[in-house]
């Protein structure tokens, strides 16, 4: 049985990972080995464990750790479990701790773009999408609406940043993703067998409902950064330029909202293409997992 370590002072060095390390420090922790990230809430911690991420330590509200969280803690093996009262933990996070539990976890070696695309039929590409909330929301929509993978340019936010993981509800562990080595990627996607659809506000764009898009066997949906959108060179290098029809004089949507609309229309759930991949690997489940309150 795991022995709990009670914390009364948030300034102890054991809590640096949770209270004082920046995202960059966590990401580069233990270099040249893989770094760390923080998973919040029992649901997200469980999804990370199921995806093969290894825990380093845990910080939990004492009441939860002693009660309904005990089974989840048991899945983490012999790691330090720091416990404290809720009011102490709120000093660390700055707000009511999300469902009473945090876990520092080791990152895994990153996949490459070729690996993510190998068996995919529908992928999303995020070009310099820098807001962690938007990236998390896009991952959640991608997992729910029939996308097989996500590629990010180097200027995009890290999917394992704490806020991104939280907003995604742990779907960053369920859908394959990789960083592209270069911002000049449409040629790579073409070489991998994908046609490319740039989401852009241009009068000569195709409607999202154009049947040619849904009929593509392999399609990459390319989304641009908040505000400026996609680079002109990227749009020129894509096979299609696509626009979401809108009314009431609205000319654009937040990139996360636009992604959900595009994924619903063009993802494997609604494109007429089977959602089962050639190897029989099915998209990651999105049904909720029963977890401790």
What pLDDT, in 10s, does the model give residues 80-99?
999 988 777 777 655 455 56
CB 104, CB 56: distance < 8 Å = yes
Predicted confidence at residue 289, as pLDDT, reads 33
Q: Are strands 36-40 and 101-106 parallel, antiparallel or unpaired?
A: antiparallel
For residue 132, is pLDDT > 50? yes
The yes-or-no verdict on residue 285 having pLDDT over 50 is: no
Please indicate whether residue 79 or residue 290 has the higher confidence score (pLDDT).
79
Closest CA to 221 of 233, 239, 209, 203: 239
Average pLDDT of 8-37?
87
* Higher pLDDT pick, 3 / 131: 131
> Which secondary structure element, helix H or strand E, spans residue 264, and what is its range?
helix 255-266
pLDDT computed for residue 278 by the predictor: 37
For residue 30, the SS3 value is: coil
Contact criterion met (CB below 8 Å) for 277 and 148 = yes
Report the chain's C-alpha Rg in angstroms. 21
pLDDT above 90 covers a percentage of the chain that reads 62
Distance CA 45, CA 115 (A): 25
* Tokens standing for residue 224: 């641009």
E strand intervals along 153-194: 177-179
Question: CA-to-CA distance for 34 and 152, rounded, in angstroms?
Answer: 19
270-114-222-278 Cα dihedral, nearest 10 degrees = -10
- Model confidence, pTM: 0.86
Cβ pair 159, 152 in contact under 8 A: yes
What count of Cα atoms within 13 Å lies in the side-chain half-sphere of residue 61? 22
How confident is the model over 263-279, as pLDDT tens digits? 999 988 766 544 333 33
CA distance 76 to 92: 22
- Is residue 164 pLDDT above 80, yes or no? yes
Host H or E run for residue 233: helix 232-237
Question: 183-199, pLDDT tens digit by residue?
Answer: 789 999 999 999 999 99
């Amino acid at each position: 049985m795991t022995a709990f370590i009670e914390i009364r002072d948030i300034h102890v060095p054991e809590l640096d990972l949770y209270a004082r390390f920046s995202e960059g420090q966590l990401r580069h922790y233990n270099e040249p080995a893989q770094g760390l990230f923080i998973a919040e809430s029992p649901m997200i911690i469980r999804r990370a464990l199921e995806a093969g991420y290894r825990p380093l330590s845990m910080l939990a509200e004492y009441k939860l750790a002693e009660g309904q969280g005990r089974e989840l803690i048991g899945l983490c093996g012999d790691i330090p479990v720091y416990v404290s009262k809720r009011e102490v933990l709120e000093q660390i996070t700055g707000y009511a701790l999300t469902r009473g539990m945090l876990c520092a976890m080791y990152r895994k070696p990153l996949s490459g773009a070729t690996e993510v695309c190998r068996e995919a039929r529908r992928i999303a590409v995020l070009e310099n999408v820098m807001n962690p909330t938007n990236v998390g929301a896009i991952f959640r929509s991608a997992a729910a609406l029939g996308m097989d993978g996500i590629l990010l340019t180097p200027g995009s936010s890290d999917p394992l940043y704490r806020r991104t993981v939280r907003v995604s509800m742990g779907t960053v562990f369920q859908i394959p993703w990789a960083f592209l080595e270069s911002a000049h990627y449409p040629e790579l996607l073409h070489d991998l067998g994908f046609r490319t659809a740039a989401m852009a506000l241009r009068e000569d764009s195709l409607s999202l409902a154009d049947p040619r898009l849904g009929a593509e066997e392999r399609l990459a949906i390319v989304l641009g950064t908040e505000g400026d959108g996609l680079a002109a060179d990227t749009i020129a290098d894509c096979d299609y330029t696509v626009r979401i029809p809108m009314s009431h004089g609205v000319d654009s949507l937040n990139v996360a909202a636009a992604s959900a609309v595009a994924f619903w229309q063009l993802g494997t759930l609604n494109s007429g293409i089977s959602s089962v991949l050639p190897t029989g690997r099915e998209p990651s489940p999105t049904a909720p997992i029963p977890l401790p309150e």
